[in-house]
Structure 1
Amino acid sequence: MIYVFLADGFEETEAIAPIDILKRFGKEVVTVGIGGGKITGAHGITVIADITDSDVIMTDKVEMIVLPGGMPGTLNLEKSPVVQAAIKFCADNKKAIGAICAAPSIIGKLELLKGKKATCFPGFEQFLEGAMFTGDLVNIDDNIVTAKGAGAAVEFGLALGALLCGEGKAEKTAKSLQCR
């Protein structure tokens, strides 16, 4: 199972594209509304989450968590004790973590990017504590995937899927999506 955390002000493309792509990989994706079931993105699109943060249970069934960026969505994710606990669980149990746009700053501040290649939306590099900042669209390093922003959302989704299901499946999925 993959939890995708949504907080008011999230960047819609950075959430919806990876959700769609991960489902194409055959993964069970569960959207989690922080503070409620109806979450409104940075561009006014409201999404009804599958569950709320009070329903999150971190178990071995969780393969990955995904943190979309956007403002103030990233700040709202960072303030959530449930998101913080999920990140800690994943770090402690070598589960995958995906973060895009401003969201890599959350895991950077927790020093989970130390010595890892990482990227983020321009202007958030200072929060990637100890990371080897690349400026690439997407980076995969060990169990962490980071991406630059909304324009990289499809590639981010494919990288998340590749981490869990392998490059072969990612290539087939990319081809089916007509990606370059």
Structure 2
Amino acid sequence: MNKILIPLAEGFEEIEAITNIDILRRAGLEVETASLGDLAVTGGHNIIINADKLIDEVKAQELAGIVLPGGMPGAAHLRDDERIVSLIQELAKREALIAAICAAPIVLEEAGLLSDRVVTSYPGFEEELESCNYLQDRVVVDGNIITGRGPGVAVEFALKLVEYLVDNKKVEELKATMLTNF
């Protein structure tokens, strides 16, 4: 039970999805991607990614967490998919990692997870995040929920996930090998 799921919906933000897949795998974590429809998923900038599996093949009990990339309409597709919402709610019951960047915190709102939580998102989506305490910070951690602002913070966000899932020593290793200075 140490897999991290990154679901891909048509119109996802490629920087956020690929950066998280890459950095989490560099940290030694098992990352699986899953599509809501066809295995070939087109991102918001017409980059096609082949998902590892279909969302119906995902077993929640095998997951240590989920990372939701943003982008529009990708985040809206995730929010409107009952399978994703149900999966997130199941993971929340056992306090697994639930992470969302850019527009994707709207999925967490739909799942009913943000009541009195501290959250951030891409500017403009705070109006859809009515139940949380909204911050404009680049990355926000509130227990098992981690949120990030958008594409420009994708590396910082992914490193925060590594810190949460592994440790700060692994973060420092990655920062050194990737020549990251924040």
TM-score strictly above 0.5: yes
Number of positions where the alignment pairs a residue of Structure 1 with one of Structure 2: 179
Aligned-partner residue type, residue 23 of structure 1: R
Partner of 1:25: 27
Partner of 1:83: 84
Contact kept, 8 Å, 1:117 with 1:140, in 2: the verdict is yes
Partner of 2:167: 166
Q: Residues 116 and 167 (structure 1 numbering): CA distance in 2 closer, same or farther, change over 3 Å?
A: farther
Contact kept, 8 Å, 1:36 with 1:53, in 2: the verdict is no
Determine the C-alpha separation between the residues in 1 that align with 2:118 and 2:176.
26
Structure 1 position 126, deviation (Å): 1.6
Determine the C-alpha separation between the residues in 1 that align with 2:127 and 2:110.
9
Aligned pair partner of 1:52 in 54, 60, 67: 54
Q: What TM-score does the superposition give when structure 1 sets the normalisation length? A: 0.95
Gaps of 5+ in 2: none
CA RMSD of the aligned region, Å?
A: 1.1
Partner of 1:7: 9
Contact kept, 8 Å, 2:86 with 2:111, in 1: the verdict is no
Aligned-partner residue type, residue 159 of structure 2: L
Partner of 2:98: 97
Q: Deviations over 1:80-111 (max 9, x none)?
A: 12211111111111100110000011112333
Structure 1 position 141, deviation (Å): 1.2
Q: Deviations over 1:56-86 (max 9, x none)?
A: 1110x31110110001101111121221111
Partner of 2:123: 122
Partner of 2:70: 69
Determine the C-alpha separation between the residues in 2 that align with 1:176 and 1:104.
30
Q: Deviations over 1:25-49 (max 9, x none)?
A: 1000000011120100000000000
